[in-house]
Structure 1
Amino acid sequence: MSAYPIVIRKITMKHRTHEKDYHQVLIVTDDERCLVVNRWGKRGQKGQMEFHRFSNPKLAVEALNAKRSTKERGGYVYDQRADLSKDADDEDAFRKALGLIYWTGMKSELEWLVPGIDTAGAKDPDLPTWEEGADGKMVHKGYQPKHKFVEAEPTVEQKVAENENWGAW
């Protein structure tokens, strides 16, 4: 059974602070494989993506609407005019309708949706790998802390207790 035609629905929500966006994509194949893609990040950036697979379009739409209502309660504004729906009858139309941002970051999801699809240029998202940090805790490999923690400067009382001539010149 062919996966085509594929229906793609894209939803964009903007946060009320105008600093971040939340995007949702619902992909439904003809053999009823469904994928919900949630993408979020600062406005104008690729951000992060998460994928949810469904074998029933009704469950996929329910998941999409539940996440959308959660985001609306959190300050995101849904603009119905930005709700786009496209049909794709072949691989080229699917790639074009989905868009480069999504296509390049979901290789295994594309292979699940359309078995045997050419995924040239696509890759799976980089999952974090873990290593032991300097303090013995597990951290993401290559993690660099944003702030360097330094020991607090001793107080005047502590300095005088160590050296009774401290501060006398």
Structure 2
Amino acid sequence: MPEASTRKAAARDKRQGKSASTQAGEYVHEEIEHVRHGQHGVKNTRQAIAIGLSKARRDGVPVEPSRSASKATREKAGQDSQAAKKTTHKPATKRSAGARKALKTASKATTARKTVGKQALSAQASKAASKRTAASRSAAARKASTTKGPAVRKAAARKAARTRRQAA
């Protein structure tokens, strides 16, 4: 179950007109924090992201699976979306216990640093971005700028200028 603060943050994002992926980002962030605090382990960064997206879908955030997603991922996303529409949630006790045990027994020793540390998340983001075209990334940035307020836009412009100066 997502924390109340995560649900509030996602609801705030929705009110502000932000995209479904931004709303789902709140759930992914929560999951990453859980792993960092040792509540459970994960095999890799992508698993932590997948768990967060699943939570978001089950909470009613309309996040579509990527175009390159496998058939199994698409089916899981459909199940999660259907689960959001149900009024009563009574998961199978044995399945829940098995899933919980698998996450709890996943290696925690290296998890926090190697799978959800800043470098691991940065590498995952870079890898995901490299699969997209420059035009696609630019369009996404342009779309994102419309939901930012003037202060955030100004800060982003300053950062971009600083980055350009460093590159030159």
What TM-score does the superposition give when structure 1 sets the normalisation length? 0.25
Higher share in strand:
1
Which structure exhibits the higher relative contact order, with contacts defined as CA atoms closer than 8 Å and separated by 6 or more residues?
2
What TM-score does the superposition give when structure 2 sets the normalisation length? 0.25
The structure that has the greater radius of gyration is 1
Higher share in helix:
2
